[in-house]
Structures are given as C-alpha cells and as structure tokens.
Amino acid sequence: MNLRNLPSVEQLLQTRLAAELIASYGRPLTLQAIRSTLNEVRSHASGTKEATVPNREILLNRAGSLLYTWTAPTLLPVINASGVILHTNLGRAPLSPAAIQSMDAISRGYSNLEYDLETGKRGSRLIHAETLLQKLTGAEAAMVVNNNAAAILLVLSALANKKRVVISRSQLIEIGGGFRIPDVMRQSGAKLVEIGATNRVHLSDYEEALSEPTALVMHAHHSNFKMIGFTEEPEQKEIADLAHKFGVLFVDDLGSGTLLETKRYGLAHEFTVQESLAAGADLVCFSGDKLLGGPQAGIIVGKATLLAKIKKNPLARAVRADKLCLAALTATLLHYLKDEAEGEIPIWRMLSITPKQVKARAKYWAAELGQGEVLEGESTVGGGSLPGESLPTWVLSLTVKNSDKFMERLRQEQPPIIARTENGHILLDPRTVAPEQDGALLVNLANILQSQKRKRNP
C-alpha cells in the first residue's frame, strides 16, 4: 500500500461527508475519529504493496462508524418479558407516570430544593419527603439518602462508630454484586458482634451479648434467600424489648420496605415498615426502588432524636438524595397517601393483575404472531423481596431451533427484549410488560420469526 496516496486529515475535513459528521458529532470528536481511522490504515499498511489506499468516502464512513459507536448510549430502555417484577439487573421498579412527570417538572428549571420560600433563606432538602413518610408510617421523623446501603452505613457511622453492634449470624447476608452486610457494618467503624448459629439464634444469645456495653442491636432482612428446616429466630418485638431493657437501640433493616400487606396478592406476609415501628424498632431502614415502587433511595424512619443526630453526621452530605430522586419519591409516596398505589404504581399493578388478565394478553400475542403456545407459568417478585415466592401467570411459549441465538437476537432489538428460556423454549410473560409496549414487542418478535423462517426456506 502506497501511503503517499493516503489523504491528510485536512483534506478529509474539506469534504461534504466530513461536514455532515461535524454537524452531527462536533468538530473535535470528528477530528479524533478521522485521525483514528487514518492511524488504523497506517498500522495495517506494512507489507501490503498490492493493496490500494481506501478512498475518501470509505475512510469517512469508517470514521462515521467510530463516531456512532463512541456516542451510542449504553443505558437503554428494555422490554422486560422475563416475569421478574423487581428485576435488579433491569433497574428494579419502573416509576409511575406521576413520578416521571414530577422529575420532568423539577429537572426543567430551578427548584426550591434547599430554599425556604416563606423566609427567603436557605432551607433543607430533607423536608421534602419527611412529612409524607411521617404520615404514612407514623414515625416521628424521616430521612432520605441515595440507597439503602448508604442508609445503613450512615446510621451505624452516626450511632455506633467504634462501638459494639449485635447481629445474628443468620442475617450476615450477601446480595447482588458482592454487597455484604458485614462489610458495610465494618466500614462504618462499628464493632461487629455475631451471635447464634447460621440457622438458629435464641433470645438468650442476644441477652448474653448485651451483657457488655453495646450501641445497638441490628436486625437485617434475609433479602434473597429463605431459611427452612431446623431454624429459629426471635420475633422483632422480642428483640426490641430485650434491647430496650438493656438501654440499647434496636435498628431494623427491612430491605424492600413494603407499606402494603403482600398477603392481599397471594404472597407470603412481608413485614411492613409500620409493623416494624410498632414492634419497637427505634429506626427502620428500607429501599425506595423495591416494594415501595419508587426511585433508588434509602429511607430511614424512626425516633426524632436519633434522626437529628444522623442528619448532622458528615457522611450525610456524601450520601444525600438529589432533586430528581426526591421529586419521584414524593410523587410515589403520594400514591400511598391517596390510597391509589395499586392502580398507579407499576409494580403493585403487576402484582395485582389476575392470571385471567395475563392469559388474555398472552393469547392476544399468540394470535397477532400467528404462532406460539399459551402455557401456565410463574412470575416472581425479585429484587431481594419475598424470596421463594411466586405468582401464577400465563406465558407465551415459542419453539425455536436455537434458543440461545434467539435470545441474543431479542437482546439486539430496539428496544431490547428480555425473556427467559425453559427446556429450549422461549417464554414471554405479559405480567411484566407494560401494555403500551405490546406494539414494539410484537413487531420485533414478528421480524425475528420471519427472518428465521426465510433462512429455513430460502
């Protein structure tokens, strides 16, 4: 290859194609892509005298491909047809229209995030969700941070730094991404005191541990696993009463933190935030984006004196919630306050859909595609909530030649479709697909099925 015929950067910049790239991507990034393209040609030129130098159009098309790759978003909306309602890898809880509208309104301009409109002086962002949380839970005070792990870290840092914290071995859990409760507790500076055995802990274990000076007793939700068989754990109220007898605080990490009774939806009972406070918890920590159905957030509710101390901790600023989180969270909490959570919050709507309603949509999908079998199945809650619990559902089952390749094609669609496989069949659960996504789902499925049909019958 004769590199003397390779056009210069400046020559390429004078072309119409380069002008179009600059208009779309800006001059600095386009310049970088052109230089990268020319360098790639030079690096492959050694020992190839017969090869011709790519023309300007080819070079700029290559630069355009680079620019597209560099600027393509990596965070994309997807269609969740997996049947896992709180799918951690897919962003957990989708937000209600009201929550989205609230975020949109706040993000478009300035807001009174930390400005007191009555006095005209600096205010606090902590007030925006606190009143709603007080009304909903009956707690004396509340605070919102950026996630539940931060909530636990902040509580322990503020109340138990260099002090003993008692926790059962059955609750030293690890959840997704390698996050471990013991690691967070140690990071806070607390001195971890493990009691009981993996499968059994008695009230006497707590009593023995509390014989030494202790800052607090912590209770953690099992999150993503269930203990069965030869197991025993005291009730929260028993632990709280014993802790208070020794003048020690009781902190309950509920994880998902539901405000509604899950038994109404055919699921096992999940201890609610209200029940935890009634059982004597001094502080309760829970997530905003799990069973609450809101944005990612960590919520702390409980005694006003304790929360006043926590709010003053230097770490509070590092883990504070931003204006978009607070906007979405307050809109979500209002759904509960107005007794409309089941109809307005997507995850509760999914939980309350009847199998008959799900079956009707699965049949509609099959009819529109002209193929597939509607079968009974199970949806799961997910997100570390109600481990082992499932809901009866109906799925569309597609028989394909190669399920792995078909799943890969689904993930390449716009928007990507996330399904699940079973015995080589593709299963799509309508329960977790928003009705307004049906059109995109069916068009993309039809295109994939049609292309496979053409390959079999050229």
Burial environment of residue 247 by CB neighbours within 10 A (0 to 12, 13 to 18, 19 or more)? exposed
Q: What is the per-residue pLDDT for 185?
A: 79
| CATH 2.40.180.10 fits domain 95-344 | no
How much is the mean pLDDT over the chain?
91
Whole-model pTM? Answer: 0.90
390 has a pLDDT exceeding 60: yes
Stretch 437-451: mean pLDDT: 93
Q: Which residue has the higher pLDDT, 182 or 376?
A: 376
pLDDT at 304 over 80: yes
For residue 301, the 8-state DSSP code is: E
pLDDT at residue 439 tops 90: yes
Cα distance between residue 22 and residue 12, in whole Å: 12
What is the rounded distance in angstroms from the CA atom of residue 71 to the CA atom of residue 29? 10
Average pLDDT of 287-296?
95
- Euclidean distance between CA atoms 287 and 147, whole angstroms: 6
Distance CA(388)–CA(224), nearest Å, equals: 8
Same fold flag, 79-86+347-456 and 95-344: no
- Is residue 177 over pLDDT 70? no
With a cut of 70, say whether residue 51 has pLDDT above it: no
Extents of the domains making up the chain: 3-71, 79-86+347-456, 95-344
Arithmetic mean of pLDDT, 387-416: 92
**Predicted confidence (pLDDT) per residue in 333-363, tens digit:** 999 999 999 999 999 999 999 999 999 999 9
Q: Over the stretch 21-37, which tens digit does the pLDDT of each residue have?
A: 999 999 999 999 999 99
Instruction: Give CB contacts under 8 A, 24+ apart, made by 71-79.
Output: 71/25, 71/29, 76/415, 76/416, 77/415, 78/415, 78/416, 78/417, 78/418, 79/415, 79/416, 79/417, 79/418, 79/433, 79/437, 79/440, 79/441
Considering the domain 79-86+347-456 in this protein, what is its CATH number? Answer: 3.90.1150.110
In tens, the pLDDT along 131-171 reads: 999 999 999 999 999 999 899 999 999 999 999 999 998 87
